[in-house]
Every structure is written in C-alpha cells, then in structure tokens.
Amino acid sequence: MIEERFDAIVVGAGMAGNAAALTMAKRGMKVLQLERGEYSGSKNVQTAILDADIVEQLAPDFREDAPLERRLVEQRFWLMDRRSHVGLRYRFNDCNDERPNRYIVIRALFDKWFSRKVREAGATILYQTTVTELAQNRRGRVIGVRTDRQDGIIHADVVVLAEGVNGLLGTCAGLRERPTPDQVALQVKEMHLLPRETIEARFNLKRDEGIVIEAAGSISRGMNGMGFIYANRECISLGIGCLVSDLQRTGETPYGLLNRFKRHPSVVPLINGSELKEYSAHLIAKRGYNTIPQLRGKGWVVVGDAAELNNTSHRGPLNVAMISGRIAAEAIFRVKSRGGRSTSNSFSLYKKMLNESYEDLKKYKDMPALMHTQPDNFLLTHPQLVSKAILNFARIGGRPKAGEEQSDSKSFGDVWSWTGIFGNGFRLPRAWR
C-alpha cells in the first residue's frame, strides 16, 4: 500500500497526462502518474501531426532525441467520388527551415519518449495500474484514487483526469456525462510497410520531408467522416473515421469503409506492394466548444480527450491535449503555491487560462452543427458534381452526350440553388467566423 501523500495524481499517460505530469514535476511538485498500459503509448495507435512550438514549451530540446518520423512540408486535400478525386495541395515553404514547426509522429513511439521525460523530471510512474475509483470524502471532494494494485486510498491534493475520450472514472463518479454516439467518431487505421526510398519516390519527397493527405467525399458513404494518409519514414498510415451514430444508423462497418478507401484508384498506387503491419481502431472526441463539459471540481480537473477538447475544423487533437495538460498543471501549481485548497472555485483559474488559449475552439464552434445538417451535400453530392465538372472540362475526344449534359445540368441546378450550394455557402462562413 502506498502510504505517502502526493501533491497530484495524474490518471493516464497520453499527451495530456504527460504534459500535466511533466509540468508539475518540473515545478517541484510531488506527482504520481498511473497508466493501465504496459507503457505510455502501448494502447495508442494514432499517427499524428505535432506542433513544435507547443512541445518546446514542455521539452525545449525535444528535437535531439524525440522519435520524429518526418517534418511536415506539404498538406494535400482530396475531394473524392467513386473513381477519381479533385485535389488541393499546399507547400509549407515558410516553415521549412532548420527548425521545422510541424512533424509527423507515431504516437506509440512518441508517447513512450514523452513518458521518459516525465520520469526524468522526478514524477513517480506506475504502469499496468488501473484506477478503479475516485475516492471522495463526505463533502464530495476528491481526495485520491483506488487502484487494482492494492487496498486503500492513494491520497493526493488534486486528481488530474487524463483518461481519454471513453474513460469511465469521471462518469462513474458523476463528475461528467458519458459521450453519446453522435459526439464521438470511430477511427480505423492500417499501417503499411514500404522501403523509405519507395515512399519518397511515390510522394515526391526528399530526405526527411513528410506529407499528409486528408480525404472527404464518397469514401464515407454520406456519413460524417474523413480519410487520411500519412507518409511516415518507413511505413504509410492509412485510415478513415466516422461518427459512431452514423455507423449505427447506416449499418456500415468501419473495416468495410477502410477497404473501399484503400481500393480507390487514387490510393492503390501509393500502397501497392506494401506489407500490412497492423490494423487498429480507437475513439475520437468530436464535440466542439459548445459542448465542453465541466472541467473542474472539488479536488479534480479533467484534461485532453477526457474533457472532449477538440478543434473540429483543424488537425491536431494531440496539440490541444498538450495545451490543456500544461495549463491545468500551471493552474494547480499557482493554487498550491498560494496555499489555496483544491476547490472548484480555486480551479476556475484553469478554465480562465484555457479560454484565453483556445480562441480557435470558439471561432469554429458552429462547424459540427453545420456538418451534421446536410452531410449528403458536403460529402456525396458536391464531390460528385465537382468531379463531373472537372471531367467535362478536361474531356478529350468529344463532348458528353446530350442526355448526360441535361442530367448534369439538372443536378447542378438542384444543388447550386439558393436552398443548395448558396444556402450552404451562407452557413459555412457563419460557422467559420
């Protein structure tokens, strides 16, 4: 039984949990971090984009030994129909210098490195330890945790919940509601091994350059979802995610969507001849600013995916998670250094600091509702019509048949009307402002 008392207990060793534990440990606080996996990242299957500016605030020298796959130099977006795609590409020449500010990382590797930094800062970490219950006193204040390792309570002044989007501690304790199927997406991913030289040739890359492709359209079968392709050092991460509620409604299977995506004519040349290394799935929070739950209470705060802090219009949930973990830790340290108690009011500082840092969450707060309103238009009809328009423009060897022209014109007229594209065009800027 652990008899000692801690300044803080962090439940979870993902991006948010590691950021919180590292920040508090560097401040000299006595920190215990509990992780149910064999090591930090053992249960994480994501490939993600890392913002260097955010990591530098936690580990200024991270470029020296962190497991970075490639520096991100180009972003591509595909609008897909069944057989083709219309693409946009943006080259990040303004940040392609000696100290790039965006990297592609494989979370299983990066999280393990991140956890080592937490240990080096002085925090105590227990792996393969499941927190079974939040311990509360008679006044409802959280005073520590119970685990599957021992009897009794491990006491702490504050507990940081960084347990992920499907964590049950907070919901079982009545501190927050469990996400509903329309608030989470199920993402499935495959990792395809290829020689480094082959990847660089297929994506037109040099040395450590990296590319991310995001894809929308018919691949999600009219559901709210997107596909993605990451060019890593010696593998390609390929996957797709859709709202759980849409999967329930349509009866579509995640692996069925993924199989159709990787068989698309635009995708096949990129993974042809590769060796499939792994298949994995995980849940992603898909709420926005309008539905952020309660973030703090008596003796507890919640961070990262557990707090459903997610920018629905920009990439980088791991970056948002790191920010929330760091800010929560800084707020906890300030309260403790002033001799204050861990009350709900004292942790209002966390919410205030978070609001100042998350302007983008407010800016794009209406995007989820917009995408839920008419997903068929955004993800099926518009991609098909754009593809037809480009095909007709580029057609060689004669014009389309009269019947096809009339059919296409009617389709365009139905959608590119005030109730169609103009209506969407009016709602989109309002959601984006």
pLDDT tens-digit map of 205-260: 988 899 999 999 889 888 888 999 999 999 999 999 999 999 999 999 999 999 99
Between CA 36 and CA 34 the distance in angstroms is 7
CB proximity list for 217: less than 8 A, separation 6 or greater: 78, 79, 80, 81, 85, 379, 380, 383, 384
Q: Where are the alpha helices (DSSP H) in 277-366?
A: 317-337, 348-357, 359-363
SS3 of 388, please?
Answer: helix
- Identify the burial level of 47 via C-beta atoms within 10 angstroms of its C-beta, where 0-12 means exposed, 13-18 middle and 19 or more buried: buried
Q: Does residue 170 contact residue 178 with C-beta atoms inside 8 Å?
A: no
CB neighbours (10 Å) of residue 345?
Answer: 11
Predicted pLDDT of residue 31: 97
Mean pLDDT of 106-130: 95
Between CA 228 and CA 241 the distance in angstroms is 9
- The confidence band for 94, taking pLDDT boundaries of 50, 70 and 90, is low
CA 159 centroid distance within chain: 23
Percent of the chain at pLDDT > 90 equals 48
- Residue 86: pLDDT over 60: yes
SS3 of 22, please?
Answer: helix
From residue 319, how far is each of 16, 83, 314, 325 by CA, in Å? 9, 34, 11, 10
Predicted pLDDT of residue 144: 95
Whole-prediction pTM value? 0.83
Q: Considering only 46-50, 283-287, 314-318, 346-350, which range has the smallest mean pLDDT? A: 314-318
- The confidence band for 349, taking pLDDT boundaries of 50, 70 and 90, is confident
* Residue matched to tokens 């839920």: 372
Mean pLDDT of 386-398: 61
